[in-house]
Amino acid sequence: MHPASSSTHEIPEAHMIPRHVAIIMDGNGRWAKERFMPRIAGHKHGVETVRTAIKACIERGINYLTLFAFSSENWRRPTEEISFLMQLFITVLKQEVIKLHENGIRFKVIGDLSKFEPKITEFIRNGETMTAANTRLTLTIAANYGGRWDILQAIHKMLAQHTDLSSSFEEKDLAQYFAMSYAPEPDLFIRTGGEQRISNFLLWHLAYTELYFTDTLWPDFSASTLDLAIQSYQRRERRFGRTSEQLKISKLINEMRKIPPKKMA
Ligand code: IPE
Ligand code: IPE
Ligand code: MG
């Protein structure tokens, strides 16, 4: 079976701690505005919060953390803000990738990298190669990412490799071409900053993800905000289309399977 299990193909096992958390880090600009500071100060603080989030995820045994850093629509922002974000991205890549590696973190980037300066792409590729064998946490940064872009690029790749598939193909034929095909689908989605929308993030992958929205602005996100999200996640019943009664029966069966058989006298 492919490691990136799909919730519409087979029902993933439910864990108390989400295996994969995906976050839309929103609210940097408003955080800065509240403090009469330029928006970029919010982005700078947002980087600090990324460190906090990584540490908190590792401590809680989360295996995959995916962070939306720059959307395919964020190019619509003022030029100065975009330049600052790109510069910040380069600085962070230079400073942090080695630290990620020392901490056993696998670093990945998803998104249309063709729009970035070659210097950025090179840093990304080097970082991915350096950390490829790490297993403590897989940290994915979505940069110039769009859910619709991902679906389209996957279809293009699939058709390029399987000309025979053009008339009929299934979910599983396509799934392997998504930018994040190495990860299971997110169990928990968090959006900070108060908006309750997906903003073209992981459209395909969020099909059965539990959604959590908080008014906390990203620079204020902390381990306790994460804990609140996890507590909310733990109160949910992940049914994947089944009824509550079916779930209870399958839970009972699983528990009975765990009881060791009695030894013969
Ligand atoms: C999220 O914070 C960071 C990026 C999109 C790069 P925003 O910059 O969107 O902050 P708000 O939503 O304006 O407060
Ligand atoms: C979503 O935030 C993208 C990132 C956090 C990178 P935005 O602030 O750009 O989202 P919208 O435009 O308010 O939906
Ligand atoms: Mg925003």
Count of domains for the chain: 1
Is the predicted pLDDT of residue 194 greater than 70, yes or no? yes
How does the average pLDDT of the chain come out, rounded? 93
Nearest CA to ligand 2 atom 9: 74
DSSP annotation of 264 reads P
Active site residue 74: yes
| Residue closest by Cα to atom 7 of ligand 2 | 26
Q: Does 1 have pLDDT greater than 50?
A: no
Instruction: Report the CATH number that the domain containing residue 86 is assigned in CATH.
Output: 3.40.1180.10
Assess if residue 13 is contained within a domain.
no
- For ligand 2, what atom is nearest to the CA of residue 195? 13
Asked if the structure places residue 41 within a domain, the reply is: yes
- What is the gyration radius of the CA atoms in the chain, in angstroms? 20
Confidence band of 251 (pLDDT split at 50, 70, 90): confident
Note whether residue 7 is domain-resident. no
Q: Is 15 among the domain residues?
A: no
Q: Are 127 and 90 in contact (CB under 8 A)?
A: no
* 197, part of any domain: yes
Alpha-carbon distance 186 to 202, whole Å? 9
- Average pLDDT of span 6-17: 77
Q: Domain containing 125: what range?
A: 20-258
Structure tokens at 68: 């939306």
Residue scoring higher pLDDT (17 or 170): 17
Do 63 and 18 touch, CB atoms closer than 8 A?
no
Q: Assign 3-class secondary structure to 12-77.
A: CCCCCCCCEEEEECCCHHHHHHHCCCCHHHHHHHHHHHHHHHHHHHHHCCCCEEEEEEEECCHHHC
- On whether residue 3 sits in a domain, the answer given is no
List, in order, residues 6 or more apart from 22 with CB less than 8 Å away.
65, 66, 67, 68, 186, 188, 189, 190, 201, 202, 205, 206, 209
Q: Is residue 163 part of a domain?
A: yes
Our answer to whether residue 63 is catalytic in this structure is no
Q: Is 6 among the domain residues?
A: no
Percent of the chain with pLDDT over 70: 96
Instruction: Kindly indicate the confidence band of residue 263, based on its pLDDT and cuts at 50, 70 and 90.
Output: low
- Say how far apart CA 209 and CA 176 lie, in whole Å: 19
CA 29 / ligand 3 centre spacing (Å): 7
Ligand nearest the Cα atom of residue 201:
2
For 46-93, write each residue's pLDDT tens digit: 999 999 999 999 999 999 999 999 999 999 999 999 999 999 999 999
The ligand with the least distance to the CA atom of 42 is 1
- Ligand 3 ion: nearby residues, β-carbon < 5 Å: 26
Q: Is residue 145 scored above 80 in pLDDT? A: yes
